[in-house]
Amino acid sequence: MDNKEKILIVDDEKIVRESLYHWFEDDNYEVDTAEDGETALNKYGKDKYDLLLVDMKMPGMSGLDLLSKIKAIDKDALIILITAFASVPTAITALKNGAYDYVTKPVDPDELAHLVKRALEQRALKKENTQLKENIDEIIKPDNLIGESFQMKKIYELVHTVARTDTTVMIRGESGTGKELVAKAIHINSNRKYFPIITVNCGALAESLLESELFGHEKGSFTGAQFKRKGKFEMADRGTIFLDEIGSISLKMQIELLRVVETKQFNRVGGNELIKSDFRVITATNEPLEELVKAGKFREDLYYRLNVFSIVIPPLRERRQDIPLLVSFFINKFSTVMNKPVKKVSKEAMEFLTNHDWPGNVRELENAIERAMVVGKTNSITVDDLPFHLSNNSEFNSDEKSLASFERNYILKILNENSWNISKAAQTLDIDRVTLYNKINKYSLRKAEN
């Protein structure tokens, strides 16, 4: 036994104390003694004992009195009473006051040793169960949700608060901050975790396609509908539906969405059957919905219906202390995938990574590390391996500090790096081609003429 369990023996008879002391010392326990209740109480206040053996009848403070006083200090204290005059009322009083059990004199060493062992085993099991419960109550995070900054700890706290409820959640933050990961964290910590989380990128689909995607369709309901198809709301039954880029949907779809969120009922496109689905709604946006509401582009009633509980994810530049943790995570990830021995980052490269503003946030950092792993020739990432070291962040040294200006400049940068190959640029940005085309039109981006 590496960590000996500690027993305190309390008895006014010296021969009893010494006998019990040697019995339990021989059984490899750490043993201490006290000749009366006052001494025992003082010792208990200064030290911690796993179990107490207490004589019921002692001069001054009785065993029952000592039991009550120690239980007032520590309700989990483990106490076995020893009595020469066992009676039913006394036994009932002892057990009601919190004693684990009692034995009668003369004490049978084997019987007492067995009782002590069983009591300590039950105590250890209870402690283990408590620790397991505490571990279960801790937030379970998706692998990529990394960060120990106070901002991220606040997000974990919010996730823990809202996960066990069915409250509708809106996640807000710039592109690439990890809104979908937070949605997954909420889902896997919820009571719906054994059912699916269904993700829909609302900004990647035209209105007609989005309607079919969300609600499903019947065979023959439109050209190309050769089969009946379940929609995402139906697939999310008993689980969670995550609606990303919620600010991009049309006013017509907003009306439909409001009705479905409120009633949990809908019809497939081209169908008459009323379908019910028990889903939880989590949405995400990088757009200022309040401004869209004022401009009449987003319904106020839908906004309030979706924005019941809000989580705002800070951009990476506002939590720079998390960058080394993220870099380490991505290096381990890509070194395994690529089977490359890269395990560290040079001091200069880490300084550059930490000081960069990361307009593309965590997604941009991940792409930068992946690129560095591909082009790197040594087992350490250097500044020369990074994709933007020569630019010195010049594209983003603009007087414009709005999210839109950052997004516009970053998308233009990626398009230029990929020679305006839309497929490659969309892959680098980790968005659909349709979304990229929409962004190009939104910001009126044009390829520079040679």
Domain boundaries, the chain: 6-135, 150-312, 316-442
| Residue 385 to residue 388: CA distance in whole angstroms | 9
Amino acid at position 118, single letter: R
| Residue 84 to residue 420: CA distance in whole angstroms | 93
- The per-residue pLDDT for 392 is 44
* Entry pTM: 0.59
| Residue 249 to residue 228: CA distance in whole angstroms | 24
Cα distances (Å, whole numbers) of residue 143 to 181, 182, 341, 394: 9, 11, 21, 32
Q: Residue 186's Cα: distance from chain center in Å?
A: 7
Taking residue 181's Cβ as centre, other Cβ atoms within 10 Å add up to 18
* Predicted confidence pLDDT, tens digits, the chain (450 residues): 457 899 999 999 999 899 999 999 999 999 999 999 999 999 988 888 999 999 988 888 988 899 999 998 888 899 999 887 666 677 777 888 889 988 888 888 888 999 999 999 988 888 877 666 555 445 677 767 899 999 999 999 999 999 999 999 999 999 999 999 999 999 999 999 999 999 999 988 888 789 889 998 888 777 666 777 889 999 999 999 999 999 999 999 999 999 999 999 998 888 888 999 999 999 999 999 999 999 999 999 999 999 999 999 999 999 999 999 999 999 999 988 888 888 889 998 898 898 888 988 999 999 999 988 888 888 899 888 887 643 444 444 444 445 566 777 888 888 888 888 888 888 888 788 888 888 887 777 777 654
- The per-residue pLDDT for 131 is 65
- The per-residue pLDDT for 227 is 79
- The per-residue pLDDT for 123 is 87
**Nearest C-alpha neighbor of 104 from the set 132, 120, 85, 88:** 85
DSSP-assigned letter for residue 221: S
Query: What residues contact 60, with CB distance under 8 A and at least 6 apart?
Result: 36, 37, 38
**Nearest C-alpha neighbor of 376 from the set 347, 336, 340, 352:** 340
Both tokens assigned to 17: 């104390």
- CATH class, domain 316-442, is mainly alpha
The alpha carbons of the chain give a radius of gyration, in whole angstroms, of: 33
| Residue 372 to residue 70: CA distance in whole angstroms | 63
| Residue 385 to residue 389: CA distance in whole angstroms | 8
Report whether 185 contacts 417 (CB < 8 A): no
Do 6-135 and 150-312 share a fold? yes
Does the domain made of 6-135 have the CATH classification 3.40.50.2300? yes
**Nearest C-alpha neighbor of 146 from the set 392, 369, 308:** 369
- The per-residue pLDDT for 397 is 44
| Residue 386 to residue 389: CA distance in whole angstroms | 6
Superfamily of 150-312 according to CATH: P-loop containing nucleotide triphosphate hydrolases (3.40.50.300)
| Residue 425 to residue 113: CA distance in whole angstroms | 73
